[in-house]
Structure 1
Amino acid sequence: MRSKTIYLAATSVCLLTGTQLSAATDWQYSLHAGAASLPRYSGSNERMTAPVLGANIVSPWGIFLDTDTGLGWGYEDDTLSFSAYVGASDGRKDRKKSGHQGSDRLKGMGTIKSRPQFGISASYTLGAAILGATLEHALEEDDKKDSGKAFTSLELSIGTHLYDGEYGTVDASLNSRFGDRNYVQTWYGVTPGQAARSRFRAYDAKGGMVSRGLSLDWSVPLGEHTTFSTLLDVQYLSGDAGKSPIVERRVQTSVMGVLNYTF
């Protein structure tokens, strides 16, 4: 997986930014660049340092183009935000490439290819709490391949603002991720064919809860258009995902620092 923990958290930040800007009366543009330290794949005990680069364009009508999520439309008022988008799903390689992609431990598991993906994300502010949900569905890549079936995931979250003052803002959220059978089998299962080619025993994973965790985001303004954000994300792999033979460590921790510029 494209190190799901931290990239989903980063994507959530970008989606919130996109929906906030959708209320503007002018075109808005933003760039972000930074680095992340995270597991090589979901369940790995190996770590990697990877660049985090992206851009976002939002029109006055709420249509946005985001390098993390894709092309979509967003809306926000005082209590509700909503976005729908189409983009590309995550992928995973079974060998190391370019210094920060894939893991040799997965040799023989095959590549999980990226494919078209549809998503909807919504949040609702209820007092001091922010309730959120993100549903994503990736299309079938090849039903004859071990990892080519369509899959669906759902993330639920509840967050709050912990601090807003001279030193920026601190936000926290608790989240849980669920997947259908194809989702859990694709990322954590081992088919008989994969077992014959790899070091892992066959493992038939069922749908259900995939992970639950905590995210902390600290954003510090550096100027009128520039902020620096630090994100800590901790996830605990649950259910059949946590019992998978490819999982070496259930607790997955990721850290990211990103410089954001909006104009």
Structure 2
Amino acid sequence: MALKKFVFVRSRSFVFAASVSMIASLPVEVRAADSFEDEGPASVAADDFDEDRFGGMRQRLSDWNVVVGVGALYAPKFEGSDEFEVSPIPMISAQIGDRMSIDTTGLTVDLLETNGFTLALTGGYELGRDEDDSSHLRGLGDIEAGGVMGARLSYALGAMEFYASVDRTVGGSDGLLGKFGTTVSHQYDRFILSAGASATFADDNHMESYFGVTSAQSIRSGLREYDASAGLKRVDIEASVTYMASENWLIRGQAGVGFLTGDAQDSPIVQDDVQPSALLSVVYKF
């Protein structure tokens, strides 16, 4: 089973791949692993459903492959922090037609699909960073939020997917990010097991915004001056397990670790260059 698209969930400046749209794209026959028609509670719920009032709406949501749910993300307070926090994460995704999908981070439009390759345009946002997120950031000032425009090229080969993406932030850091990675997934009974690895590159604007320290910032914060240049910013490894509890309910657990590299790793802003995280979510597929 190839993974079509990853949803990037942000906790402040931290980025975590949650792949909600993978759940949305699963057909009912696959997600239901076994038949649920003979289960008592499910049959009663189906009999009590008011088709006249809600049937049409549910059908439209089903056609759009809508997924809604909530998750809890355990992650560093900011990229490079050694302090952690738990944040609630909304999980919303919808596939509109064959080529458009939308979620809490933005819009994706597939322009071309041929011989396993998919070329897509993406639009979303970057949350930036608030110096009030941590006492370690005091004096550095805020990094404003900005819009993100990008493109993604992927190639599906059986259960594996290889991808490359580029994203430009308009406003905020005015930075450019490039990402290369691969994912693999396997279904066993009612479980979907997935794993992936990726490398993220950043330009001078992004690196200076998030990891550089100007002379004025140094005076205010007490951190030494530092120039952060373009290059490989981080390498990430993640794995997840999705349990198909019923025809509509899914439970997902995901864990990952990122390793800051190069000028990001050496920045005085970074307290720990190893960035672990975990996500637990429950979603409902219409």
Q: TM-score range by the shorter chain?
A: 0.7 to 0.9
Deviation per residue, 1:107-148 (Å, 9 max, x gap): 011111111111223321235532122221101x3xxxxxx4
Give the gaps of 5 or more residues in structure 1: 96-101, 142-147
1:204 is paired with a residue of what secondary structure? coil
Give the count of matched residue pairs.
Answer: 243
C-alpha deviation, 1:230, in angstroms: 0.7
User: Cα 1:210–1:258, aligned 2, differ >3 Å: closer, same or farther?
Assistant: same
Percent of pairs with identical residues: 26
Q: Distance in 1 between matches of 2:248 and 2:81?
A: 37
The residue number in structure 2 matching 1:14 is 20
Task: Give yes or no for the alignment of 1:72 onto 2:97.
Answer: no
Corresponding letter in the other structure for 1:250: D
Residue 92 (1) aligns with residue 100 (2): no
In 2, the alpha carbon distance for the partners of 1:36 and 1:167 equals 24
Residue 237 of structure 1: aligned partner: 260
Residues 69-92 of structure 1: CA deviation (Å, up to 9, x unaligned): x13323767833443222211211
Mind listing any 5+ residue stretches in structure 2 that lack a counterpart? 1-9, 28-61
1:40 corresponds to 2:77: yes
- The equivalent residue for 2:134 is 103
Q: Does structure 1 residue 52 correspond to structure 2 residue 83?
A: no
Match of 1:126 among 157, 160, 176: 157
In angstroms, what is the RMSD of aligned CA positions? 2.4
What amino acid is aligned across from residue 136 of structure 1 in structure 2? D
Q: What TM-score, normalized to structure 2?
A: 0.77
Asked if 1 retains the 8 angstrom alpha-carbon contact of 2:122 and 2:149, the reply is yes
TM-score (norm 1): 0.84
- Residue 216 of structure 1 is matched in structure 2 by 239
Q: Deviations over 1:218-248 (max 9, x none)?
A: 1110111221111111011000000000111
Once residues 20 and 202 of structure 1 are traced to their aligned partners in structure 2, the CA distance between those partners, rounded to angstroms, is 50
SS in structure 2 at match of 1:186? helix
Task: Provide the rounded CA distance (Å) in 1 between the counterparts of 2:149 and 2:259.
Answer: 26
Q: Could you tell me how far apart the structure 1 residues matched to 2:197 and 2:137 are?
A: 30
For the residues of structure 2 that align with 1:16 and 1:166, how far apart are their CA atoms?
A: 17
- Structure with bigger helix share is 2
Alignment-derived partner of residue 147 in structure 2: 116
2 CA distance for matches of 1:149 and 1:131? 28
Cα distance 1:20–1:155, how it changes in 2: closer, same or farther (>3 A)?
A: farther
